[in-house]
Amino acid sequence: MDMTAHKSAPILSIKAIDEEAGTIEGYASTFGGEPDAYGDVIAAGAYADTLADHAAKGTSPKMFWQHDSHEPIGRWTELSEDDRGLMVKGKLNLEVRRGAEALALLKAGDIDGLSIGYRIKAYSVDTETGVWTLEKLDLVEISVVSTPANENATIASVKAAKAVHELSEMLKAGDRLTERQFETWLKGLGFSNAQAERAARVHLKGQGDLADDADERWSRFTRALMG
């Protein structure tokens, strides 16, 4: 399973275009502020480790068109964090059809977005609000995009995978949560109200049945999420 999630920067993230040189510059990601539509906030410094790792290896996140790994359109030449977020500069490959098309569309103002592809390395969750603070990210690629990626699907897949692992360990260890805590946490991970409510009922029923086998409780729990 591809565990790379996508997140788009605010509209007008590209702030400078040099048509002759084929270079672009802008914010690929911003820090803090209000949680986005999926309940996430990116912490300042979230990219420090991954940028240092790329620098040490002499590599850079890939530049793709619309998150399509089959369509590289150039390379990112400078990446740095400032108080606002992740600032990037890149050079489009104008010998590649998509690269030339991207430049034409950017110049005309028909597209103006950047979107990152990343893996979550460290995070924290506020169990009261369900807000995720992404504290450390592994930056895989940065795409030029016409419209925001389907974050609801891609980010939910990453969060669901982490939830499966963590909740499995919790259930097997016999940890107990109130129904409200459990529902709030699941909803914060991107599960629907109905999924969270069903799973909470199954989880609480399992907590009260000491003779119940942990693996069977976990099986019922995952079926409730998928139902």
Degrees, nearest 5: CA angle 84-144-5 = 75
Distance from C-alpha of 182 to C-alpha of 153, rounded to nearest angstrom: 22
Q: What is the H or E stretch that residue 188 is in? A: helix 179-188
Examine the pLDDT at 27 and tell me if it is beyond 50. yes
What residue ranges do the domains of the chain occupy? 5-149, 158-226
For residue 65, give the amino acid letter: W
Per-residue confidence (pLDDT) for residue 209, from 0 to 100: 45
Sign of torsion over alpha carbons 203, 205, 206, 207? positive
41 strand-pairing partners = 133
Secondary-structure percent of the chain, ordered helix, strand, coil, rounded to 5: 35, 30, 30
Q: In this predicted structure, which of 69-78, 160-169, 189-198 has the lowest mean pLDDT?
A: 160-169
- Looking up tokens 């069977």 gives 216
Q: Which two tokens stand for residue 2?
A: 């591809």
* Of 216, 184, 214, nearest in space to 200 by CA: 184
Give the residue, 1 or 135, on which the prediction is more confident.
135
pLDDT score recorded for residue 57: 95
d(CA 222, CA 90): 43
Whether 225 has a pLDDT exceeding 90, the answer reads: no
Distance CA 50, CA 43 (A): 14
Six-digit token pair at 215?
A: 């693996």
**pTM given for the model:** 0.64
Residue 58: DSSP 8-state: T
Buried b (16+ CB within 10 A) or exposed e, 25-34: bbbbbbbeee
Weakest mean pLDDT among 48-52, 78-82, 196-200: 196-200
Range in 16-25, 39-48, 56-65, 129-138 the model is least confident about: 16-25
